[in-house]
Amino acid sequence: MTRKRFSPLLAVLPVALLTPAVLAQSATIVYKCPGNVYTSDRELTAKQAADQGCKVIEGTPITVIQGRPPTPRPASGAAAAATPRPPEARIDPAAQRARDNDSRRILEAELRREEERLAELRKEYNNGEPERQGNERNYQKYLDRVADLKSGIARKESDIAAIKRELAKLPP
Protein backbone atom coordinates (compact mmCIF):
# COMPACT_ATOMS: atom_id res chain seq x y z
CA MET A 1 0.00 0.00 0.00
CA THR A 2 1.36 3.27 -1.07
CA ARG A 3 0.56 6.26 0.84
CA LYS A 4 0.20 9.65 -0.79
CA ARG A 5 2.12 12.40 0.87
CA PHE A 6 0.38 15.67 1.58
CA SER A 7 2.23 18.60 0.11
CA PRO A 8 2.10 21.93 2.05
CA LEU A 9 2.29 23.70 -1.30
CA LEU A 10 -1.12 22.37 -2.24
CA ALA A 11 -2.60 23.82 0.95
CA VAL A 12 -1.23 27.29 0.22
CA LEU A 13 -2.09 27.32 -3.46
CA PRO A 14 -5.84 28.12 -3.14
CA VAL A 15 -5.10 30.96 -0.76
CA ALA A 16 -2.42 32.37 -3.08
CA LEU A 17 -4.78 32.24 -6.02
CA LEU A 18 -7.53 34.08 -4.15
CA THR A 19 -5.30 36.82 -2.68
CA PRO A 20 -4.97 39.01 -5.83
CA ALA A 21 -8.73 38.95 -6.33
CA VAL A 22 -9.32 39.98 -2.72
CA LEU A 23 -6.71 42.72 -2.96
CA ALA A 24 -8.18 44.01 -6.19
CA GLN A 25 -11.59 44.27 -4.58
CA SER A 26 -10.28 46.13 -1.52
CA ALA A 27 -8.04 48.56 -3.45
CA THR A 28 -9.43 52.04 -3.81
CA ILE A 29 -9.24 53.69 -7.19
CA VAL A 30 -8.15 57.31 -7.05
CA TYR A 31 -9.07 59.80 -9.77
CA LYS A 32 -7.31 63.06 -10.49
CA CYS A 33 -9.88 65.45 -11.87
CA PRO A 34 -9.33 68.86 -13.51
CA GLY A 35 -8.25 71.54 -11.02
CA ASN A 36 -6.06 69.07 -9.04
CA VAL A 37 -9.07 67.60 -7.29
CA TYR A 38 -8.52 64.04 -6.11
CA THR A 39 -11.50 61.78 -5.55
CA SER A 40 -11.96 58.07 -4.92
CA ASP A 41 -14.23 55.49 -6.48
CA ARG A 42 -16.42 55.83 -3.38
CA GLU A 43 -17.33 59.36 -4.44
CA LEU A 44 -17.52 58.90 -8.22
CA THR A 45 -18.40 56.03 -10.48
CA ALA A 46 -16.13 55.18 -13.39
CA LYS A 47 -18.65 56.70 -15.83
CA GLN A 48 -18.93 59.98 -13.83
CA ALA A 49 -15.15 60.22 -13.63
CA ALA A 50 -14.83 59.73 -17.40
CA ASP A 51 -17.52 62.35 -18.06
CA GLN A 52 -15.71 64.91 -15.89
CA GLY A 53 -12.34 64.22 -17.56
CA CYS A 54 -10.76 62.54 -14.53
CA LYS A 55 -7.77 60.23 -14.91
CA VAL A 56 -7.04 57.13 -12.85
CA ILE A 57 -3.99 57.42 -10.58
CA GLU A 58 -2.01 54.18 -10.46
CA GLY A 59 -0.25 52.99 -7.34
CA THR A 60 -0.87 53.85 -3.72
CA PRO A 61 -3.72 56.13 -2.76
CA ILE A 62 -2.86 59.79 -2.32
CA THR A 63 -3.66 61.65 0.88
CA VAL A 64 -4.54 65.30 0.40
CA ILE A 65 -4.82 67.50 3.45
CA GLN A 66 -6.72 70.70 2.95
CA GLY A 67 -4.76 73.64 4.38
CA ARG A 68 -6.13 76.98 5.35
CA PRO A 69 -5.62 79.89 2.97
CA PRO A 70 -2.75 82.26 3.81
CA THR A 71 -3.67 85.30 5.84
CA PRO A 72 -3.07 88.59 4.07
CA ARG A 73 -0.19 90.62 5.44
CA PRO A 74 -0.59 94.30 6.19
CA ALA A 75 0.92 96.64 3.68
CA SER A 76 4.33 97.98 4.60
CA GLY A 77 5.68 101.49 4.42
CA ALA A 78 3.53 104.54 3.92
CA ALA A 79 0.34 102.55 3.35
CA ALA A 80 0.64 100.93 6.79
CA ALA A 81 1.29 104.28 8.45
CA ALA A 82 -1.74 105.79 6.74
CA THR A 83 -4.05 103.14 8.19
CA PRO A 84 -5.97 104.83 11.00
CA ARG A 85 -5.95 103.32 14.46
CA PRO A 86 -9.17 102.66 16.29
CA PRO A 87 -10.12 105.49 18.65
CA GLU A 88 -9.45 103.45 21.81
CA ALA A 89 -5.88 102.74 20.65
CA ARG A 90 -4.96 106.38 20.11
CA ILE A 91 -2.78 108.12 22.67
CA ASP A 92 -3.46 111.62 23.91
CA PRO A 93 -0.91 113.99 22.29
CA ALA A 94 -0.09 115.58 25.66
CA ALA A 95 0.60 112.16 27.18
CA GLN A 96 2.78 111.20 24.21
CA ARG A 97 4.72 114.48 24.50
CA ALA A 98 5.30 113.76 28.20
CA ARG A 99 6.56 110.26 27.38
CA ASP A 100 8.90 111.65 24.73
CA ASN A 101 10.23 114.25 27.17
CA ASP A 102 10.83 111.57 29.82
CA SER A 103 12.62 109.40 27.27
CA ARG A 104 14.78 112.32 26.16
CA ARG A 105 15.67 113.21 29.76
CA ILE A 106 16.61 109.60 30.59
CA LEU A 107 18.70 109.20 27.43
CA GLU A 108 20.50 112.51 28.01
CA ALA A 109 21.37 111.49 31.59
CA GLU A 110 22.65 108.15 30.35
CA LEU A 111 24.66 109.91 27.64
CA ARG A 112 26.31 112.17 30.25
CA ARG A 113 27.24 109.16 32.44
CA GLU A 114 28.72 107.28 29.49
CA GLU A 115 30.71 110.32 28.32
CA GLU A 116 32.10 110.79 31.85
CA ARG A 117 33.10 107.11 32.03
CA LEU A 118 34.72 107.39 28.57
CA ALA A 119 36.74 110.40 29.74
CA GLU A 120 37.92 108.40 32.79
CA LEU A 121 38.91 105.43 30.62
CA ARG A 122 40.84 107.68 28.21
CA LYS A 123 42.63 109.35 31.11
CA GLU A 124 43.58 105.97 32.58
CA TYR A 125 44.58 104.65 29.12
CA ASN A 126 46.99 107.61 28.70
CA ASN A 127 47.36 107.17 24.91
CA GLY A 128 48.26 103.48 25.22
CA GLU A 129 50.77 103.92 28.07
CA PRO A 130 48.89 103.72 31.38
CA GLU A 131 50.87 103.77 34.61
CA ARG A 132 51.80 100.34 35.91
CA GLN A 133 50.08 99.20 39.05
CA GLY A 134 51.71 97.38 41.95
CA ASN A 135 50.21 94.00 41.09
CA GLU A 136 51.54 94.18 37.51
CA ARG A 137 55.11 92.99 38.06
CA ASN A 138 54.42 90.52 35.30
CA TYR A 139 54.50 92.50 32.03
CA GLN A 140 51.75 90.33 30.51
CA LYS A 141 49.29 91.47 33.19
CA TYR A 142 50.09 95.06 32.23
CA LEU A 143 49.52 94.30 28.53
CA ASP A 144 46.22 92.55 29.34
CA ARG A 145 45.03 95.62 31.28
CA VAL A 146 46.02 97.92 28.40
CA ALA A 147 44.06 95.71 25.95
CA ASP A 148 41.05 95.71 28.31
CA LEU A 149 41.19 99.51 28.55
CA LYS A 150 41.38 99.83 24.77
CA SER A 151 38.40 97.51 24.22
CA GLY A 152 36.49 99.31 27.00
CA ILE A 153 37.04 102.63 25.24
CA ALA A 154 35.80 101.21 21.93
CA ARG A 155 32.74 99.76 23.67
CA LYS A 156 31.90 103.09 25.38
CA GLU A 157 32.28 104.95 22.07
CA SER A 158 29.83 102.58 20.39
CA ASP A 159 27.42 102.91 23.35
CA ILE A 160 27.56 106.70 23.07
CA ALA A 161 26.90 106.51 19.32
CA ALA A 162 23.87 104.27 19.95
CA ILE A 163 22.46 106.66 22.56
CA LYS A 164 22.89 109.58 20.15
CA ARG A 165 21.02 107.64 17.45
CA GLU A 166 18.17 107.00 19.88
CA LEU A 167 18.05 110.68 20.80
CA ALA A 168 17.91 111.61 17.12
CA LYS A 169 14.80 109.40 16.69
CA LEU A 170 12.85 111.33 19.33
CA PRO A 171 10.84 114.36 18.24
CA PRO A 172 12.39 117.69 19.28
pLDDT of residue 89: 77
3-class secondary structure, 31? strand
Q: Are residues 51 and 95 in the same domain?
A: no
Give the residue with greater pLDDT, 81 vs 71. 71
Query: Which residues are within 8 A (CB) of 159 and not within 5 positions of it... i.e. 6 or more apart?
Result: 114
Q: Are residues 108 and 161 in the same domain?
A: yes
3-class secondary structure, 2? coil
Q: Are residues 96 and 48 in the same domain?
A: no
Cα 162 from chain centre: 27
- Residues of the chain with pLDDT > 90: what percent? 35
Number of domains the chain is built from? 2
Q: What is the 3-state secondary structure (H, E, C) of 35-100?
A: CCEEEECCCCCHHHHHHHCCEEECCCCCCCCCCCCCCCCCCCCHHHHHCCCCHHHCCCHHHHHHHH
DSSP code at position 30: E
Residue 67 lies in a domain: no
Q: Are residues 157 and 100 in the same domain?
A: yes
Q: Average pLDDT for residues 76-103, to the nearest whole number?
A: 77
pLDDT, one tens digit per residue, over 1-53 is 555 565 555 555 454 554 444 444 456 677 778 876 666 667 778 888 888 88
- In which band, very low, low, confident or very high, does the pLDDT at 77 lie, cut at 50, 70 and 90? low
Q: Are residues 95 and 52 in the same domain?
A: no
pLDDT of residue 46: 81
Q: Are residues 107 and 164 in the same domain?
A: yes
Residue 79 lies in a domain: no
Domain assignment of residue 25, given as a range: 13-57
pLDDT, one tens digit per residue, over 109-165 is 999 999 999 999 999 999 888 998 888 888 999 999 999 999 999 999 999 999 999
Q: Are residues 105 and 153 in the same domain?
A: yes
Residue 29 lies in a domain: yes
